[in-house]
Amino acid sequence: MKVLIATDKPFAAEAVNGIRDVIEKAGFELVLLEKYTEKKQLLDAVANVDAAIIRSDIFDKEVLDAAKNLKIVVRAGAGFDNIELDAATANNICVMNTPGQNANAVAELALGLAVYAVRNFYNGTSGTELMGKKLGIHAYGNVGRNVARVAKGFGMEVYAYDPFLTAEAIEKEGVKAVASAEDLYTTCQFVSLHIPATAETKNSINYTLLSKMPKNALLINTARKEVINEAEIVKLMEDRKDFKYVTDIMPGNHAEMAEKFAGRYFSTPKKMGAQTAEANTNAGIAAASQIVDFIKNGNERFRVNKK
């Protein structure tokens, strides 16, 4: 069995060593294609491999058609919109991602942004602490769960809203479940966003919802920019001088926000939540383990395309 790592932007050497370990222990052979510059190199590399581990590399119909022996491709990371799922299904190729492997990295960044905000962006003035404050986690998935764990370490009172989970599932982890997004925003001075961008969530973080937050509110966004109603958050922050917003996903109206709300708004220059050595290594090794488990045992737990 040949397993290809095809990475335009390579993994760290540590991650490649970890992947090699998993692949070779399973009795498979590892093939590396890194920093390729032309599609032809990718088309040649996929021609005779059984499995592939990729990052943001494009696996479109042409690549999938050229991969005559390919049985599985795993995106080391969460997003998989770089893979043409229908073409993979048509060619009987299983597509997987590695959800959750970057969750701790994103969670640490979320709490780091919160500290930065309550300490007034380290501008030399006296700030406030997180301990004892109410933190609302909007969507209790992989990242949300990790934010809860870290926030409890800070001594925060943690609440969560997730319509796809039962209150019991949330509360057994020492987090208070609330029945609606409105409840979460009304209860919590701090809200950390972890919803995916779906038809339902796009633009859903709007004036009405945010205006429910208690005094000295802080919104932390490490999720997606599409979920924020950008025009309405401007209006809200104009109306509420006590409201701060920190984000890991630069909004479309960043220049306007930065100018109007200096001292109350911050965006990372590019999405940095998952940018850690550990997240990179975890995702690569998870991808390798999933490939071995799929080929040896038929495990399709993380499959994202139709059969």
For ligand NAD, the binding residues (CB under 6 A) are 78, 99, 102-103, 106, 139-144, 162-164, 194-196, 198, 200-201, 222-224, 248, 271, 273-274
- Nearest distance, CB of residue 158 and ligand NAD, angstroms: 15
In this complex, which beta carbon is closest to ligand NAD, that of residue 41 or of residue 99?
A: 99
In this complex, which beta carbon is closest to ligand NAD, that of residue 55 or of residue 194?
A: 194
- Nearest distance, CB of residue 41 and ligand NAD, angstroms: 28
State which residue has the least CB distance to ligand NAD: 141
- Nearest distance, CB of residue 49 and ligand NAD, angstroms: 28
- Nearest distance, CB of residue 273 and ligand NAD, angstroms: 3
In this complex, which beta carbon is closest to ligand NAD, that of residue 102 or of residue 305?
A: 102
SS3 2: strand
Residue 59 near residue 82 (C-beta atoms within 8 A): yes
- Nearest distance, CB of residue 257 and ligand NAD, angstroms: 18
In this complex, which beta carbon is closest to ligand NAD, that of residue 30 or of residue 170?
A: 170
In this complex, which beta carbon is closest to ligand NAD, that of residue 91 or of residue 99?
A: 99
Q: Which segments of 165-205 does DSSP mark as H helices, in order?
A: 167-171, 181-187
Tally the residues of the chain: 307
Long-range contacts formed by 289-293: CB under 8 A, 24+ apart: 289/22, 290/74, 290/96, 290/98, 291/3, 291/23, 291/51, 291/53, 291/72, 291/74, 292/22, 292/23, 292/26, 292/28
CA 298/CA 307 separation, integer angstroms: 13
Q: Which segments of 83-226 does DSSP mark as H helices, in order?
A: 85-90, 103-118, 142-153, 167-171, 181-187, 207-210
**For the chain, what is the radius of gyration of the CA atoms?**
22
- Nearest distance, CB of residue 174 and ligand NAD, angstroms: 17
Residue 224 near residue 196 (C-beta atoms within 8 A): yes
In this complex, which beta carbon is closest to ligand NAD, that of residue 127 or of residue 174?
A: 174
